[in-house]
Structure 1
């Protein structure tokens, strides 16, 4: 009888409780997509192993070579930490850092690299600038262009885009815009299947329509 009571008690589900933090939440940690150690995606570690940057919805990813295992760089990472990390992985210094005060969401600090990647940061009440989104455009030099894990990036055709993602297309003041359900956005240079992607973004952006 005692065993039966204990078994019934253990099967009862506890109600879900939403906790409201009373203190500043800890900075987000990089989420690994494989059995890699949790400290893989740090500036020091990035210099010790070959990695590349991949685009994904509302985040960036580090891709280890040659294994292909991924480590997510989530939104919310502090500016200094993320810029140092990307400098190491991309093997180039950030080309420019500046604040755009005319964005609809408020001022954004933009860090841009020569491969066309721009990372946007929003300032929080504590004064910290935190990773809020990314965008890509044409690279300034011959650096490899960042793409998604499916190989979609600047210069990919609409046909290649649609072979990898289910997209919604619309004509806007920006041109032929596209979007995916999970938050990937971009612009094509035309309506046909051979039209090419000219820009992409995800997360908080500074797009004027």
Structure 2
């Protein structure tokens, strides 16, 4: 009888311990490796072109230069040049990734002196010009190549674009002359200027305080 009573007591203790374990709060588990990979993938954007790898929204910017554009790493100052001749689809993807904005318009101007030119424009005033030397009536997208750029008025809340010297729309003639050697002449377009390196533009007046209203390099579609 004593043995039976002792057995019941032990059995009751075991049941109580089991209930206590079942009611204990469980520790949540997370897959940190998977979460980190997802965050990196969401915040990393790369272009298919080896000249420019755009990692995040704020690390790269676009710089105007003669006969090309440049992508600059804002953190390190290193630059990668995008020369004339780059295919249209690569150019649009690179610039879209850098500016974090798709072009607002893409179209062909058939009345340019240089022949039909395809143009892609963004809200910050940048227009990229593409040329196709193929004389066939039907031209594939792959045959349009980067041949020039133009910068005009900037839409509100759009990041301004400039040269490495900080020259852009709104810069004065005095500021331009402190960075470049200029040749200025009065034409039907206004007070037109040029540099020996291949930058062109227009001032809104003849004096040192006159401001740049347009800036371009390479092929353009200006009617004089």
TM (norm. structure 2) is: 0.73
- Give the structure 1 partner of residue 11 of structure 2: none
Contact persistence 1:47–1:88 (CA under 8 A):
no
Report how far residue 143 of structure 1 moved: 1.0
| Structure whose CA Rg is larger | 2
Distance in 1, Cα, partners of 2:192 & 2:51? 36
Equivalent position SS for 2:178: helix
Contact persistence 1:111–1:118 (CA under 8 A):
yes
Deviation string for 1:112-157 (max 9, x for gaps)?
A: 0000000000113274100000000011222111100000000000
Structure 1 or 2: more helix by fraction: 2
Distance in 2, Cα, partners of 1:39 & 1:120? 21
- Give the structure 1 partner of residue 164 of structure 2: 149
Equivalent position SS for 2:98: helix
Report how far residue 47 of structure 1 moved: 3.9
- Give the structure 2 partner of residue 162 of structure 1: 177
Contact persistence 1:152–1:160 (CA under 8 A):
yes
Aligned alpha-carbon RMSD (Å)? 1.4
Distance in 1, Cα, partners of 2:50 & 2:119? 26
Residue 88 in structure 1 maps to residue 97 in structure 2: yes
Contact persistence 2:51–2:81 (CA under 8 A):
no
Contact persistence 2:51–2:82 (CA under 8 A):
no
Distance in 1, Cα, partners of 2:185 & 2:62? 28
Q: Return the match for 1:135 from 130, 147, 150.
A: 150
Q: Return the match for 2:80 from 71, 92, 99.
A: 71
- The alignment covers a number of residue pairs equal to 169
Report how far residue 48 of structure 1 moved: 4.1
Residue 46 in structure 1 maps to residue 54 in structure 2: yes
Deviation string for 1:67-113 (max 9, x for gaps)?
A: 11111000000101100110000011111000000000000000000
Residue 97 in structure 1 maps to residue 112 in structure 2: no
Deviation string for 1:10-64 (max 9, x for gaps)?
A: xxxxxxxxxxxxxxxxxxxxxxxxxxxx9251xxx21447110000000000011
Distance in 2, Cα, partners of 1:40 & 1:81? 11
Structure 1 segments unaligned to the other structure (5+ residues): 1-37
Greater CA drift, 90-99 or 45-54: 45-54
- Give the structure 1 partner of residue 188 of structure 2: 173
Structure 2 segments unaligned to the other structure (5+ residues): 1-48
Residue 198 in structure 1 maps to residue 202 in structure 2: no
